[in-house]
Amino acid sequence: MNKRGFWNALGLLIIGAVFGATLVGNFGYMKKAYAGDVKLGSESEPVQQISGDLQSFEDAFINVAEKVTPSIVEIKVVSKIKENPHEGLPFRIPFEMPKEQEGTGSGVIISDDGYIVTNNHVVENATNVTVTLHDKRQFDAEVVGTDPLTDLAVIKIDADDIQPIHFGNSDKIKVGQWVMAIGNPLSFSSTVTAGIISAKNRSLRLIKDSYGVENFIQTDAVINPGNSGGALVDLHGSLVGINTAIATNGFSPSYIGYGFAIPVNLVKAVAEDLIENGEVSRGYIGVRIEAVSDATARAVGLDKPKGVLIQGIVEDGAAAEKDIKEGDIILKIDDKEVTQPNELQSYIAQKRAGDTVKLTLYRDGETIERYVTLKAPKNKAKTHRKKGEKKKGKHKIETKEFGNIGLTVRDLYNNEYDEYGVDNGVMVVKTERFGKADEAGIGRGLVITEADRQKIENVEQLEEVLKDKEGGAILLKVVYPDGSKRFVGLEVPEE
């Protein structure tokens, strides 16, 4: 190539390189980005301005979270576990299980001198309890007292500059009311969630004791393991409950929709007793009760199901000393209406032995009042079987089927009077599945001793009483093989 051709080719290469760089730069492939050149977000106004009632509503949650969270503590517990975890197993595990375990929960400061309320199951069998405050200070805690029957406990720390929570009134809370749950779920400290009160007066049968008190507030505010012992507060920032349990699907112990809290009025009564005495001096009426069904209400003449039915009287209990009878219905206690057994139990749990309460009872179509002085239980209620009077001589055993209620009964054999501890009655030998008797909980092996408050001596007498009640309902008294007794409301359709 000659000199002229060389310089022409070199010029074309330089022009092409400059032109290519310009194109690439214009298409953004080589442009260097600077922070000042980037515009993030829209320059227009927000989608909606929050003001007025909506702003106040949002501020309420913010203020409660800021002011209440310092009253909530994290609790770490080292506790003893079952000494022999292999007991009852059909095989022996060839290694040692640890004798202690560590767990976490929440607590609520209830006094400026360091008392904290939490759940009994959080500190149960504790050998060491450590409390961490919202400001990260840590203290060793003393267990002041526990009450397994309400799943509550009180612990204490020696600390200055702490903030006790304000107590609300759980009797005044309403379903649909906004609440906030504050605690330490899943080891996430100072977690705040919100929801509404979904229901009141829930019983979950978590406390496996006949004297257990369950009257939970149900909420859809998210509660998870670690929230136990934390606070459920209203939008005033007042404590309305102590978070205790969650509803699970049986596979995961985490939240799937609902949590449950112990009402603050019960919490306050138990905490005061534990602080003062180290234990709860609880009083009892001494009755065995259950809810009034629609059939029972119709059988006794109530306009609708209400109150709680007295199924039994505890021997030597407070009720046994007054004119209170099996089959009476408690409509009110101290002028407070009750519709479920746990409502009555929760109210009584706030009283002490020696306190007097007024019971408004329904009996034989009339309303009466009785004043009962509560007593502490000496022992748990026992069933005392009355020895029956054995029938003498042989008598014909009759059997009768009542198709309209799905029930077949027969007269008692001589030996069954003593076996059941009764003087009269008829034996249930069969119930039809999904029949009226089956729906009422009447099963084979029960003895019917009363119908419509009349003693039943034989099948013929029961037939007469049932015939008179066709198209309505009847109250039966039944006796179980262990000697325990129960009243049952039963619908009696026409034949």
Q: Which contacts (CB < 8 Å, 24+ apart) does range 157-163 have?
A: 157/114, 157/116, 157/131, 158/114, 159/114, 159/133, 162/70, 162/109, 162/112, 162/114, 162/133, 163/70, 163/71, 163/109, 163/112
Q: How far is CA 78 from the centre of its chain?
A: 26
Q: Which of 71, 106, 121, 198 is catalytic?
A: 121
151 is known as an active-site residue: yes
CA separation for the pair 313, 326 (Å, rounded): 6
Is the CB of residue 423 less than 8 Å from the CB of residue 390? no
134 is known as an active-site residue: no
Q: Which of 71, 228, 238, 293 is catalytic?
A: 228
3-state secondary structure of 437: helix
Q: Which residue has the tokens 């092996």?
A: 445
Q: Which amino acid is at 74?
A: E
Sequence-ordered strand ranges (E) for 247-344: 259-263, 287-291, 308-313, 329-333, 336-337
Please give the radius of gyration of the chain, using alpha carbons only, rounded to the nearest integer.
Answer: 35
DSSP 187: G
Residues 6+ apart with CB under 8 A from 274: 144, 145, 146, 147, 152, 153, 154, 280
Q: Which of 71, 147, 151, 346 is catalytic?
A: 151
CA separation for the pair 444, 306 (Å, rounded): 29
| Length of the chain measured in residues | 495
Sequence-ordered strand ranges (E) for 266-392: 287-291, 308-313, 329-333, 336-337, 356-363, 366-373
Cα distances from 324 to residues 24, 312, 428, in angstroms, run 98, 10, 29
Residues 6+ apart with CB under 8 A from 154: 110, 115, 116, 117, 118, 143, 144, 145, 146, 271, 274, 275
Q: How far is CA 249 from the centre of its chain?
A: 16
Tokens of 262: 């112990």
Is the CB of residue 324 less than 8 Å from the CB of residue 311? no
Is the CB of residue 395 less than 8 Å from the CB of residue 430? no
3-state secondary structure of 57: helix
Q: What angle do CA 30, 31, 34 make, to 5 degrees?
A: 140
Is the CB of residue 74 less than 8 Å from the CB of residue 157? no
Tokens of 495: 């034949």
Number of H helices, E strands in the chain: 9, 27
CA separation for the pair 490, 476 (Å, rounded): 7
Active-site residue list:
121, 151, 228
